[in-house]
A and B are shown apart, each in its own frame.
Chain A
Amino acid sequence: MPGIPLVTRETSCSRNADQMCRVESRVHLSEEEEIAAEESLSLYCKPVELYNILQRRAIRNPLFLQRCLSYKIETEHRRRIQMTISISRTSGGGGQAHNLFPVYVILGRLVSDIAVAEFSGVYRFNRACLLTGINRGECSSQVVANFILPEINKLAVEAKAGSLAILFVSHIGPTNTLSGVDSVDGSLYMASVPAVAGYCLWGKIPLESLYISWQNSSNFGLGQRAEIMSTVDMRSCVLKTTCLDGEKCLGFQIPFNSDSMHTAQQVQVTISAEEFGARDKSPYDSYTYSVIPSSSLSHMIRLRAGNVIFNYRYYNNRLQKTEVTEDFSCPFCLIKCASFKGLRCHLLSLHDLFNFEFWVTEEYQAVNVSTKADVWRSEIIADGIDPKQQTFFFRSRHLRRKKVKNVVQSGKHIHPFVVESEYSDKADDAQSSQGEKALISGHNVAPTMLQFAKTRKLSIERADLRHCNLLRKRQFFHSHRAQPMALEQVLSDRDSEDEVDDDVADLEDRRMLDDFVDVTKDEKQMMHMWNSFVRKQRVLADGHIPWACEAFSQLHGPNLVKTPALLWCWRLFMIKLWNHGLLDANSMNSCNIILERIHSEASDSKS
């Protein structure tokens, strides 16, 4: 098993404090017990073997879950600097100082190509933090501003460019100069940027100076917190919010008649920074195994955060072997699971051939593993049976596609046939469930029914050349006449599958009407004409009736006009429709107009 092997029994016995997760195991066993224990340990072999196979398969095509996990681990380990800014004191003209709050703290980037000459500085920014008071333990007020900076090496580039600075902006008087800026949850977002202008106080700390002091601090390099106190001069200026290239900008304009009335204002700022992501690391992380003396290895292993102890129980839970994995990795497939919780999910879902007990103490995390009594036996081939001779269905979309092609090519000579499995007698109880009828086929082809279903489906997508070729390979028959269809017909777009044979339908309709005894000949003919019309024109809904009546009058008008008896049948029928609310008076009127027009035309041509 992978991981770092620990000495088995001795180790587990050596630490008495581990009672909760370790069962005392007997050190001394008789020879027989020894063998039995070995045998019981060997139960682990087959599931582990199976998981090794699965793991090898997963290398090429990793599970989605694992890809997510590795991303999560990566981001967690990325180093960043978290910077916390708080204003500890304001000094200046006594009572005036209090008026500085609220103060906006902004991480801004100086726009180098100043388009607007009147500004002494234009800064681009994303986020502004609003500080409302001095840290006096008041919960309601916002006292610190947090910023996340890239790691120190990346920061160097930014710092040397000298464009980044921390800005402090305070309004004067009761009016809020930053009215164009919305405050959401203590942070400020620029919703819309109207050109807001106003007097304010502002000060800045260039990031470069912070960077230099961080670099000089030895503690910071080791991942410890670095605190810098700094005093910022607040100068008065005119502030203007603008929008440049869709980004929020602040422009500061130092008025010419600056009487430096407020320059005396100073703010003392505490800036603390620490490397983010470093906090989780223990000092041991920076050591490698080679430098640690092996005697203290087991002790050290416990102290590392990502280390998990796995106890493999065997011989009726009387004995166990122990190993430790790093970074919350799974001992079976070496997947790093990011957290103990992740490991727990992973083990339970992917390695269900074992039982797991999870233990978490302040000192370490441990998992007790034991084999499941019989569950895995059905999934793992028993001894003495050649898996190659076992038949089973393996269905995969990709393969099935190929097979269809095969079937068509090799013709009808391959038919699946059913045989009794020979192994049903020999196989033990583990096999008996599979020892029923097994379907064996020449080339492992899908059953013939499937093949037909496939080919029929393909005819829909005939545009594809390949499908077209498939259509050529087999004789098709007409669904109504059962006559072999010529290729030209098969490939044509015409589909007569659900067509109604009008001639035959007419014939049958007439025959049906002939059965009526109390209906006159004209009525029968009228019925037949209407039935035939309705079927051909697919008059299905009530709403179709007005249209149908007009079209019928138009179509059969000459015929109706010629035989008055028929015409009366038609009129009576329309009245019946009107009675049922299917035909409105307007439509009936227009029908009669049509008939009248045809009538007059007929009489005109006669005369």
Chain B
Amino acid sequence: MAKYSLGSEPVVGSLTPSRKREYRVTNRLQEGKRPLYAVVFNFIDSRYFNVFATVGGNRVTVYQCLEGGVIAVLQSYVDEDKDESFYTVSWAFNVDGSPFVVAGGINGIIRVIDAGSEKIYKSFVGHGDSINEIRTQPLKPSLVISASKDESVRLWNVHTGICILVFAGAGGHRNEVLSVDFHPSDIYRIASCGMDNTVKIWSMKEFWTYVEKSFTWTDLPSKFPTKYVQFPVFIASVHSNYVDCSRWLGDFILSKSVDNEIVLWEPKMKEQSPGEGTVDILQKYPVPECDIWFIKFSCDFHYNAAAIGNREGKIFVWELQSSPPVLIARLSHAQSKSPIRQTAMSFDGSIILSCCEDGTIWRWDVMTTS
């Protein structure tokens, strides 16, 4: 746990809504009876900023947000194995520009669906257990990274189907990895967190040649010299419980545990000795009734705001980059009672989607102030 020195206590945001923006429920959709675990907007391709995907059970569904609160179903994919339960979904795209939906779940198989041709493009096996999160590298949308229950993080090239790197081993996670995120500007850097209560920052700088090699690899994918990255560059013990979501905010990290708050902190690495360093906790964003694990927050494209649901079906929208943090809005609806597993903020933050344990999707639209 990080210790605070005098005068450097973290700034805790106030739970009084600033009412800078107001949101209103514009749609409610019952997708099915099985819980929905992930909802995500397509930030990869500007043509599809209003398209989002959800996963729940063995189903992956692609929707489009239209004017006036309308949600249109575009595509729906059902895994042939009815015991599959997808936990996570991410957008990527092929070199020719057709969007990919990348989903993973309990079976540990990553399904890459070509939404352009509506076919399975590839399936990646390699993870030894369920997949908890998949993220796409925005700077190179062919690269996706997956966090798994098998205590490893794997980097894949979606285009060539190669498992490039495995982040696991001597310095790796000691329990399920729940969340992983690419650094927004430093292409070599990732952060992962999990049930061993730590957040680990990894560098793939020394291994970048292999990442490059993966783009031009024409031989069998199984012959690719997949490398193990065993030692992270930084290990942070910010939380004392499962860390189920972490996102980069510039060089800072936003992470949350089951302590009813999101924490913004700065990893301070020592140049001499990698793996060691200190943590400076900067700000805290309280989220009441958010004490169960596997609730993930989401941000808009520019990371101006973050939205997070809670156990009781309420959503808290925080302004991230102000100090002290400002609660933009607190969204609640009488019929929204079920835990919200994940939210999705649209590109500009005008639409907030939430997917719930009871299989519903809620759409909230910002009210234009007159």
Contact = CB atoms under 8 A, between A and B. Distances in A.
A229 to B, nearest CB: 97
Given A478-B222, A483-B125, A503 B227 contact: yes
Contacts of A489: 220, 222-223
Contact of B227 (A478, A486, A504): A504
B163 interface: yes
A589 to B, nearest CB: 39
A129 B140 CA distance: 104
Contacts of A507: 206
B208 interface: no
Given A483-B221, A489-B222, A501 B125 contact: no
B222 A480 contact: no
A206 B6 CA distance: 130
Contacts of B272: 514, 517
A508 interface: yes
A515 B272 CA distance: 7
Interface string A3-17: 000000000000000
10 contacts: A481-B222, A482-B127, A482-B163, A483-B126, A484-B222, A489-B222, A501-B225, A501-B228, A504-B228, A514-B274
Interface of A: 477-478, 480-486, 488-489, 501, 503-504, 507-508, 511, 514-515, 517
B128 interface: yes
A483 B274 contact: no
Contact of A482 (B126, B223, B224, B231): B126
B148 to A, nearest CB: 11
A517 B270 CA distance: 14
B222 A483 contact: yes
Given A503-B227, A504-B227, A507-B206, A482 B220 contact: no
Lowest 7 CB-CB distances: which A-B pairs, in order? A481-B226, A482-B126, A483-B222, A486-B220, A485-B222, A507-B206, A483-B126
Interface string B201-229: 00000100000000000001111111110
Nearest to A506: B206
Contact of B273 (A478, A501, A515): A515
A483 to B, nearest CB: 5
B230 A480 contact: no
A478 B125 CA distance: 11
Nearest to A515: B273
A54 B20 CA distance: 93
Given A482-B127, A483-B126, A501-B225, 14 more contacts: A477-B126, A480-B228, A481-B163, A481-B166, A482-B125, A482-B126, A484-B125, A485-B222, A486-B222, A488-B220, A489-B222, A501-B228, A504-B227, A504-B230
A483 B227 contact: no
Nearest to A504: B227
A477 B108 CA distance: 14
A483 B231 contact: no
B150 to A, nearest CB: 9
Consensus secondary structure, chain B interface = loop
B231 A508 contact: yes
Interface in B253-311: 272-274
Contacts of A486: 220, 222-223
Contacts of A481: 126, 163, 166, 222, 224, 226
Contacts of B226: 480-481, 483
A511 B231 contact: yes
A452 to B, nearest CB: 15
A484 B166 CA distance: 15
A511 B273 CA distance: 9
Given A481-B126, A481-B163, A508 B222 contact: no
Nearest to B210: A503
B194 to A, nearest CB: 19
A301 B272 CA distance: 104
A482 B227 contact: no
Nearest to A486: B220
B224 to A, nearest CB: 8
Question: Which of B206, B222, B223 gathers the greatest number of chain A CB atoms within 10 Å?
Answer: B222
Interface string B39-60: 0000000000000000000000
Contacts of B274: 511, 514
A507 B274 CA distance: 13
A485 to B, nearest CB: 5
Contacts of A511: 231, 274
Contact of A508 (B125, B126, B223, B230): B230
A8 B126 CA distance: 79
B320 to A, nearest CB: 34
B163 A483 contact: yes
A488 to B, nearest CB: 7
Contacts of A508: 230-231
Contacts of A478: 222
A440 to B, nearest CB: 24
Contacts of B224: 481, 483
Contacts of B221: 483
A491 to B, nearest CB: 13
Given A489-B220, A489-B223, A507-B206, A482 B128 contact: yes
A511 B229 CA distance: 12
A317 to B, nearest CB: 67
Contacts of A503: 227
B64 to A, nearest CB: 35
Contacts of B225: 501
Nearest to B273: A515
Contacts of B128: 482
